[in-house]
Amino acid sequence: MKNTYESPLCSRYASSEMQEIFSPDMKFKTWRRLWIALAEAEKELGLNITDEQIEELKKYKDDINYEVAEAKEKEFRHDVMAHIHAYGEQCPNARGIIHLGATSCYVGDNTDIIIMHEGLKIIRKKLIAVIAKLSEFALKYKDLPTLGFTHFQPAQLVTVGKRATLWIQDLVMDLEEMDFVLSNIKLLGSKGTTGTQASFLSLFDGDEEKVKKLDKLIAQKMGYDKVFAVSGQTYTRKLDSRILNLLSSIAQSAYKFSNDLRLLQSMKEVEEPFEKNQIGSSAMAYKRNPMRSERISSLARYVIVDALNPAITASTQWFERSLDDSANKRISIPEAFLAVDAILNIYINISDGMVVYPKVIEKHILEELPFMATENILMEAVKRGGDRQELHERIRVHSMNAAKKVKEEGQKNDLIERIAEDPAFNLNIDEIRSVLEPKNYIGRAPSQVEEFINEVVKPILEKNKDIDVKVELKV
């Protein structure tokens, strides 16, 4: 047991895979890859840098002397300079060309973009995994009628599968936004202290073409084909805001699902997975609390609020650069990724094991369906010679009395019996019950599920069929 604070996002919720991406080791190794890319590009464009110097840099790219770097940072109060000196101690021949012409944001900002990009790739995989699981669920229950709700009041019937397509559709919208963001990610490149590339222009004796080529070469060596066309010292913090807005959108979708499931579990219609030895309450041993769905809700709320951080940061940057973004970015961006990673891990787990109780669902339908079926009963009675206006008034009176019996006396809904006993309707109890078949009230729900899965979801899953995601919840 540790005696210092540790973020629960690390100890309880997020995957090791995501934590590794946002680890210091990933950051500082990427810094060294960027310094190597800079040296290689500068050499290729004619600067006096040797192959031996570059090979020396490559030799130590993953062997970081952290003790030296930490000591240097205490001395310099500057993390980038500390790591330049630490790298230089390992590479004495290359010491003089490390970070040549660059500013701190060359390694800091380009690394931040690369790390966010890698994090989004993990999020995307898990997003697709949830869509796949929910699609199986939607197809399995596409024909099972269930009460629809508006204002959390019983409304026209839907099906269990149709409701699941609403959850999926939100995630599909998130995936579309994800692919847009991924397709538009670009590096800062090598822009210099205020974005004018003046230091690089000096290095290349005023040759603007070489400076432009340097920008593109570095990006290519790091696996990117685009850089920001213009910048201050930093890439625009609008990128951070765009990315966290995407993560917030995913959190919103998961939040809606988790709230729906919490309500369904309260009604005992659908439950999240509950393991053999799981304890629902320390006091009430009988309880099966929707703790996983509640955790999604809890983490999603954090992400939605956290997305305000880069929005405020982007809007308050001064001219070409201010440093009030740095401490905030170090916290708000990694934690948003870790939290969404955790949310999707739980979402995958739940969607892979939801339990449906058709008998409870049917019971709830039959408690409410008599009210919803009155129009159909009315039409059937009119066909048999009844007066529509008279019958409408009789149904209104019977409905009010039946509702009163349910609400005030706790009795079952006896509206059908009341109508059957009323000679004005000329219908017996069996004839009325034949009108009450739930499948007569679900409209196109089953067809809508099939069409949505076939036309919208299957092309996505087919395009991403190689994605394989396995998650294991820590708690």
The pTM of the full predicted model, rounded to 2 decimals, is 0.92
Q: What is the pLDDT of residue 276?
A: 47
Residue 76: pLDDT above 70? yes
Q: What is the pLDDT of residue 285?
A: 42
pLDDT digits (tens, 9 = 90+) for 390-443: 999 998 998 899 889 888 998 888 888 998 898 998 888 888 888 889 999 999
pLDDT digits (tens, 9 = 90+) for 388-403: 999 999 989 988 998 8
| Residue 305 vs residues 77, 256, 276, 344: alpha-carbon distances, Å | 32, 16, 35, 18
**For the residues 289-295, what does the mean pLDDT come to?**
94
Q: What is the pLDDT of residue 378?
A: 85
Mean pLDDT computed over every residue of the chain: 94
Name the least confident of 70-84, 280-294, 334-348: 280-294
Domain 374-435 class in CATH: mainly alpha
Coil vs helix vs strand at 302: helix
Catalytic residue among 16, 202, 266, 281: 281
**For the residues 253-281, what does the mean pLDDT come to?**
85
| Domain span(s) for CATH 1.10.40.30 in the chain | 374-435
- CA dist., res. 314 & res. 238, Å (int): 5
Q: What is the pLDDT of residue 275?
A: 62
| Domain span(s) for CATH 1.10.275.10 in the chain | 20-97
Q: What is the pLDDT of residue 475?
A: 65
**For the residues 147-171, what does the mean pLDDT come to?**
96
Sign of CA dihedral 371, 375, 379, 385: positive
Using alpha carbons, select from 1, 3, 13 the residue that is nearest to residue 472: 13
- CA dist., res. 148 & res. 150, Å (int): 7
| Domain span(s) for CATH 1.20.200.10 in the chain | 104-274+283-354
* Catalytic (active site) residue 202: no
Q: What is the pLDDT of residue 245?
A: 98
Q: What is the pLDDT of residue 434?
A: 83
* Catalytic (active site) residue 117: no
**For the residues 296-307, what does the mean pLDDT come to?**
98
Residue 375: pLDDT above 90? no
Phi, psi values for residue 168, rounded to 5° = -65, -45
Residue 282: pLDDT above 50? no
Residue 215: pLDDT above 90? yes
Q: What is the pLDDT of residue 280?
A: 52
Dump strand ranges (E) for 88-135: none
Q: What is the CATH number of domain 104-274+283-354?
A: 1.20.200.10
Q: What is the pLDDT of residue 1?
A: 66
Domain 20-97 class in CATH: mainly alpha
154-173 burial, b for 16+ CB within 10 Å, e for fewer?
Answer: beebbbbbbbbbebbebbbe
